[in-house]
Chain A
Amino acid sequence: MTKPKISVGAVIDEPGSTIKNKTGGWRSFRPIIDHKKCIKCGTCWQFCPDNAINENFEVNYDYCKGCGICANECPVKAIKMVKEEK
């Protein structure tokens, strides 16, 4: 993590700073999408609270925190949560 600048009162005066804060490291379970099962309904894309699934239903692992909401909501059970191992 790079050191962000220290401003008075932690005020952020430029938009888009969340992009710099990669939260993928928080993840203990990784969503794996089985594209053969996927019906491209968009439910995972819509539900992802971190906007970490794109329109092609690919996961951005830089930001996915592994909450598992996508796997829970998938109507055809095409998303599996797999334990992260180092």
Chain B
Amino acid sequence: MDTHIVERLADYINDGLLKSEMIHAESEHSAISAALGAEAMGVRTFTATASQGLALMHEILFVVSGMRLPVVMAVANRALSAPINIWNDHQDSISERDSGWIQLYVESAQEALDTVIQAYKIAENRKILLPVMVCLDGFTLSHVYEPVDIPEKKEVDKFLPKYNPLFKLDTKKPITMGPIGFPNTYMEFRKETHEAMLNSIEVIKNTNNDFKKSFSRSYGDGLIEIYKIDDADYAVAAMGTVCGTTRVVVDELRKQGRKVGLIKIKSFRPFPKQKIINCCKNLKGIAVIDRNISLGNEGALYTELRSAFYNQKKKPIIKGFIAGLGGRDITLSHIKTAFNKIENSSDIEWLL
């Protein structure tokens, strides 16, 4: 599913448009290990994967973030086996929630491109130094053509100056990377990495603002994007392309006089709790649409949203919906059903 992305990059390299070396690996475990090694040498690195490939990378994802290497990776979100399924849902990257990677979910091909450019600026920020996953819906964004404005190289260079790594492997100044962390230090390293992740909330926001100044495009505040929320009573909260479908439903229901809106969560990690609480404070209810399921509990975004509101005195009703697994279309009527069932008492519901 990620193949189109790397195939096109191979074209760019072949045509002399991109000065880069492409490393062919025999597996995703090796591909992310090669990206780690390349990044340790102090060069900008990119890779792309999906589904089982991301699952195979699992072990090394934690090494990349723990070593604070700002790798950027596109994930063309797809379902996990079994049964074998090559279509879209978010189970692959949601399952890597705790890997220490920043996760940004995008709604359009344009946003995917713009977010990759921003991702380097976020990842390489000296206060952050964390890898970033740009999560784009498989097929819907990875295999469908839509017009995209590709910014000029010199404009991108102005926005994203040459990479200047904090540390790199260099025989003239040897360092040790990835050493053992004994019980007397491991926790401190984890805490530092967690704090870097929290600091990235501000950096993601600022990067979105800077991008707007340079390219006249922006995506909400970079962390969340709200649509017709100001006077809304009810809203859908979701990630990725389903937000596009939801905008259509919101417009339709608004024509019927219903006060509804959309909260698009772009940044799942870090989770911008306070920003979500602030924009939802006047809402009566939220329908969370999850394209994933934590089997035996509920959808991940639903869990996180409810947890964010737990200590708030005034909180909206929050209802969870599981939809669009394994490439099942999420239709306009699914989203209307979600809006209509917010006040229902049951916990989660499947939009089959």
Contacts and interface: CB of A to CB of B under 8 A. Distances in A.
A and B from one complex: yes
A9 B67 contact: yes
Given A1-B182, A1-B184, A3-B184, A9 B68 contact: yes
Given A10-B67, A17-B179, 14 more contacts: A1-B182, A3-B184, A4-B184, A6-B185, A6-B188, A8-B166, A10-B66, A10-B177, A10-B178, A11-B167, A12-B176, A13-B173, A17-B176, A21-B182
Contact of B179 (A1, A8, A12, A15): A12
Contacts of B192: 6, 8
Interface string A1-35: 10110101111110101000100000000000000
Contact of B185 (A3, A9, A11): A3
11 contacts: A3-B184, A8-B167, A8-B192, A9-B66, A9-B68, A9-B129, A9-B177, A10-B178, A10-B185, A13-B175, A17-B176
A49 to B, nearest CB: 15
Contacts of A3: 184-185
Which of A4, A8, A17, A21 has the most CB atoms of chain B within a 10 A radius of its CB?
A: A8
B189 interface: yes
Interface of A: 1, 3-4, 6, 8-13, 15, 17, 21
Given A3-B184, A4-B185, A9 B167 contact: yes
Nearest to B65: A9
Contacts of A4: 184-185
- What 10 pairs between A and B have smallest CB-CB spacing? A9-B68, A12-B176, A9-B67, A6-B188, A13-B175, A11-B167, A8-B68, A1-B184, A11-B175, A10-B189
Nearest to A6: B188
A6 to B, nearest CB: 5
Contacts of B67: 9-10
B175 A12 contact: yes
Contacts of A10: 66-67, 177-179, 181, 185, 189
Which of A3, A10, A17 has the most CB atoms of chain B within a 10 A radius of its CB?
A: A10
A9 B40 CA distance: 11
Contacts of B175: 11-13
Nearest to B188: A6
A17 B176 CA distance: 10
Nearest to B178: A10
